[in-house]
């Protein structure tokens, strides 16, 4: 069987009208009304305020044509409220320049590679969540993927995971990760540069800590040590930088991305965001207008239901992890048994506990907020204070779930970290 990579057709360059490798939804009055109602309810519920019919209609109308996944079924749209059960969603970041700002180069300056591939898992009871990153240079087996024009593409035994988007679109990336992890992934989203910029701007910027100066001529990122609030183009370039941090490799870039995502989660979950209807609306618009979603996800109602499931999860129970890999010629490969153990834990819906470091690209923030110690509860019973056994009794703690191998790097959304920068003279 040949492993020759077969590129997909460029097709139309207008992302707003054509869903490449996807099935286009038919537009009619009923769909428009349903989206309007779902959008209105979602914004009111999540923010606590109504931003008006015009705004919510704008969010619903901005939903783009969706992508059909191979194992997807068209079930009923969930009612507004936390989604029932667990969630597996693949989030893919494309480096395509199609439809993007001219600052990133002409439409045909690059292919359509998934430079970022992340799996979001929400537990059945909505008590914990994980975001697992796959390095772009990781060699994987790519299964046979459907060709939207008819037939299918041949399977390949070993290719880098970031070629799957070029080879067969978002549906092919999902099939590849399903084969790799053994998980069923019913939801997927593809985001481009504009989406990252819009989300960071929607929340008014994302605070990031820099431990040592970042200098990267490739992305134009130059940041001194200290805290910086980044949004729009600056936030995007911070996420894209590789040469200006750690050892200049993609694995340390993932560490930096996890730092940013942790801060973004804290920002979104803050009272300043959730109580501001303008920010909530801007976030909803950023998602629907700048992402290509699977059929199963292409509904404001579904998006709101998943967001609500995440809303009350403790920050320390939101784990960002990078799959364990080792070097191989031209890239990296999965390290066993740590790799399989990670996804067996996810499949079993177990909370994940990290035992390794945050990675070579980041370090602990020395100025991180310190949680106050719990205040003892006063009692009016003098015998309770006099009983030494009352103070020495063991405190019951919740089991940490599965403790991952030290080869799995990452952090929780509650961890404050700083980027280890790299100057030009060290590159």
Q: What is the pLDDT of residues 349-388, one digit of tens each?
A: 999 999 999 999 999 999 999 875 555 544 444 444 444 4
pLDDT of residue 392: 46
Q: What is the mean pLDDT of residues 145-166?
A: 91
**Where does the pLDDT of residue 96 fall: very low under 50, low under 70, confident under 90, or very high at 90 and above?**
low
With both helix axes pointing from N to C terminus, report the angle between 193-202 and 277-290 in degrees, rounded to the nearest 10.
170
Report angle CA 363, 367, 371 to the nearest 5 degrees: 105
pLDDT of residue 375: 54
The torsion defined by the Cα of 170, 407, 259 and 314, in degrees rounded to 10, comes to 90
From the list 109, 83, 52, the residue with the least C-alpha distance to 281 is 52
Average pLDDT, the chain: 79
pLDDT of residue 6: 43
User: Do residues 208 and 228 make contact, with C-beta atoms less than 8 angstroms apart?
Assistant: yes
Q: Is 29 exposed, middle or buried (0-12, 13-18, 19+ CB in 10 A)?
A: exposed
pLDDT of residue 57: 44
More confident call, 53 vs 141: 141
User: Do residues 153 and 6 make contact, with C-beta atoms less than 8 angstroms apart?
Assistant: yes
Instruction: Please name the residues in contact with 71: beta carbons below 8 A apart, sequence gap of 6 or more.
Output: 178, 184, 186
- On the question of pLDDT at 4 being above 60, the answer is no
**Where does the pLDDT of residue 76 fall: very low under 50, low under 70, confident under 90, or very high at 90 and above?**
low
Number of neighbours of residue 217 by Cβ within 10 angstroms: 11
pLDDT of residue 75: 59
Number of neighbours of residue 219 by Cβ within 10 angstroms: 18
CA distance 21 to 70: 12
Q: What is the mean pLDDT of residues 176-192?
A: 95
Give me the residue label for tokens 């975001």.
Answer: 131
User: Do residues 101 and 119 make contact, with C-beta atoms less than 8 angstroms apart?
Assistant: no
Instruction: Please name the residues in contact with 295: beta carbons below 8 A apart, sequence gap of 6 or more.
Output: 23, 25, 66, 67, 68, 69, 72, 74
CA distance 397 to 408: 24
- On the question of pLDDT at 13 being above 50, the answer is no
CA distance 253 to 267: 21
Q: What is the mean pLDDT of residues 267-285?
A: 83
pLDDT of residue 70: 75
pLDDT of residue 150: 83
DSSP assignments along 33-59, one per residue? HHHHHHHHHHHHHHHSS---HHHHHHH
- On the question of pLDDT at 208 being above 90, the answer is yes
Q: What is the mean pLDDT of residues 139-168?
A: 92
* Token digits of residue 196: 């990252």
More confident call, 199 vs 181: 181
CA distance 65 to 87: 22
More confident call, 195 vs 119: 119
Q: What is the mean pLDDT of residues 103-108?
A: 51
* Percent of all residues in the chain with a pLDDT value above 70, rounded to a whole number: 72
Q: What is the mean pLDDT of residues 240-247?
A: 94
CA distance 124 to 119: 16
User: Do residues 153 and 145 make contact, with C-beta atoms less than 8 angstroms apart?
Assistant: yes
pTM across the whole model: 0.78
Q: What is the mean pLDDT of residues 275-279?
A: 82
């Amino acid at each position: 069987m040949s492993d020759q990579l077969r590129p997909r057709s460029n097709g139309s360059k207008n992302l707003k009208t054509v869903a490449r490798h996807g099935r286009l939804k038919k537009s009619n009055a009923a769909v428009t009304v349903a989206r309007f109602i779902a959008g209105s309810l979602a914004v009111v519920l999540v923010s606590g305020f109504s931003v008006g019919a015009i705004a919510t209609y704008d969010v619903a109308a901005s939903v783009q044509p969706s992508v059909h996944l191979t194992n997807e079924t068209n079930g009923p749209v969930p009612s507004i409220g936390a989604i029932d059960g667990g969630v597996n969603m693949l989030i893919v970041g494309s480096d395509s320049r199609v439809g993007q700002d001219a600052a990133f180069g002409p439409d045909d300056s690059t292919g359509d590679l998934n430079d970022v591939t992340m799996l979001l898992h929400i537990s059945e009871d909505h008590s914990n969540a994980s975001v697992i990153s796959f390095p772009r240079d990781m060699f994987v087996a790519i299964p046979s993927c459907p060709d939207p024009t008819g037939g299918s593409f041949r399977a390949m035994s070993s290719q880098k995971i970031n070629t799957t988007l070029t080879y067969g679109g978002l549906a092919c990336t999902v099939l590849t990760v399903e084969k790799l992890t053994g998980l069923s992934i019913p939801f997927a989203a593809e985001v481009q540069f504009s989406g990252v910029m819009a989300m960071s701007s929607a929340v008014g910027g994302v605070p990031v800590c820099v431990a040592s100066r970042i200098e990267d001529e490739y992305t134009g990122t130059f940041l001194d040590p200290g805290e910086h609030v980044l949004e729009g183009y600056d936030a995007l370039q911070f996420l894209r930088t590789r040469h200006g941090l750690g050892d200049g490799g993609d694995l340390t870039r993932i560490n930096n991305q996890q730092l940013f995502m942790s801060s973004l989660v804290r920002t979104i979950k803050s009272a300043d965001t959730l109580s501001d209807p303008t920010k909530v609306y801007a976030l909803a618009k950023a998602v629907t207008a700048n992402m290509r979603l699977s059929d199963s996800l292409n509904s404001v109602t579904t998006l709101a239901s998943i967001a609500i499931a995440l809303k009350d999860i403790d920050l320390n129970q939101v784990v960002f992890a990078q799959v364990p890999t080792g070097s191989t010629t031209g890239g990296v490969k999965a390290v066993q048994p740590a790799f399989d153990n990670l996804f067996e834990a996810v499949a079993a819906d177990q909370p994940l506990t990290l035992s390794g470091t945050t990675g070579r690209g980041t370090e602990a923030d020395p100025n991180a907020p310190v949680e106050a110690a719990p205040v003892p509860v006063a009692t009016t019973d003098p015998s309770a204070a006099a009983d030494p056994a009352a103070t020495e009794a063991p405190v019951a703690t919740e089991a940490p779930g599965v403790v991952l191998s030290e080869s799995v790097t990452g952090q929780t959304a509650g961890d404050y970290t700083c980027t280890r920068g790299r100057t030009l003279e060290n590159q």
